Amino acid sequence: MVKVKAMKLVTLLGLTILTVGTACWGPTPAALQGTWFLEYYGDPGNLIAPYPARDMPLSSGTDITLTISDSEIEGSAGVNSYYGNVRIIGNKLVITDAYTTELAGPDHLMEQEERYFSILGPEVTYEITDGKLTIYSGEEVLVFTKEIPDRDYGQSDVGRWTDIAQVAAGGFHTVGLMSNSTVVAVGWNEFGQCEVGDWTGINQTAAGDYHTVGLKSDGTVLAVGDNHYRQLDVDDWTDIIEVAAGGYHTVGLKSDGTVLAVGPSHGPAPCFQPDFGQSDVDGWIDIVQVTAGALRTVGLKSAGTAVFAGLKMYEEGDVGDWTDIDQVVAGDGHSVGLKSDGTVVATGDNDHGQCNVGGWTNIVQIAAGGYHTVGLKSGGTVVATGNNDHGQCNVDGWTDIVEVAAGYLHTIAVKSDGSVVAAGVGV
Same domain, 138 and 180: no
Same domain, 231 and 299: yes
Q: How far apart are CA 28 and CA 19, in angstroms?
A: 19
Same domain, 115 and 178: no
Assess if residue 154 is contained within a domain. no
Same domain, 399 and 348: yes
pLDDT at 424: 96
CATH number at residue 23: 2.40.128.270
Assess if residue 153 is contained within a domain. no
Same domain, 82 and 206: no
pLDDT at 53: 72
Assess if residue 157 is contained within a domain. no
Same domain, 211 and 132: no
pLDDT at 55: 52
Q: How many domains does the chain have?
A: 2
Assess if residue 156 is contained within a domain. no
Q: In what order do the strands lie in the sheet with 372-377?
A: 363-368, 372-377, 382-386
Single out the residue in 115, 145, 175 at which a domain terminates: 145
3-class secondary-structure state, position 315: coil
Same domain, 79 and 197: no
- Residue 365, phi-psi category: left (phi > 0), alpha (psi -120 to 50), beta (remainder): beta
Could you list the pLDDT tens digit for every one of the 427 residues in the chain? 333 333 333 344 444 333 333 345 668 899 999 999 999 999 999 999 998 876 544 444 578 999 999 899 999 998 889 999 998 988 999 998 889 988 777 778 889 999 999 999 877 999 999 999 999 999 999 999 998 777 899 999 999 999 999 999 999 999 999 999 999 999 999 899 999 999 999 999 999 999 999 999 999 999 999 998 899 999 999 999 999 999 889 999 999 999 999 997 654 444 455 678 999 999 999 999 999 998 899 999 999 999 999 988 889 999 999 999 999 999 999 999 999 999 999 999 999 999 999 999 999 999 999 999 999 999 999 999 999 989 999 999 999 999 999 999 999 999 999 999 999 999 9
Hey, how many other C-beta atoms are within 10 angstroms of the C-beta on 9?
A: 11
What residue numbers bound the domain in which 296 lies? 164-424
Assess if residue 22 is contained within a domain. yes
Same domain, 115 and 217: no
CATH number at residue 269: 2.130.10.30
pLDDT at 106: 76
Cβ 334 vs Cβ 348: under 8 Å: yes
Hey, how many other C-beta atoms are within 10 angstroms of the C-beta on 387?
A: 21
Same domain, 132 and 178: no
Assess if residue 159 is contained within a domain. no
Same domain, 131 and 215: no
Assess if residue 181 is contained within a domain. yes
Question: Most distant CA pair in the chain: distance in Å?
Answer: 76
3-class secondary-structure state, position 115: helix
3-state helix, strand, coil in the chain (%, to 5): 5, 45, 55
Single out the residue in 145, 177, 193 at which a domain terminates: 145
Same domain, 269 and 122: no
pLDDT at 20: 35
Assess if residue 151 is contained within a domain. no
pLDDT at 5: 32
Same domain, 256 and 388: yes
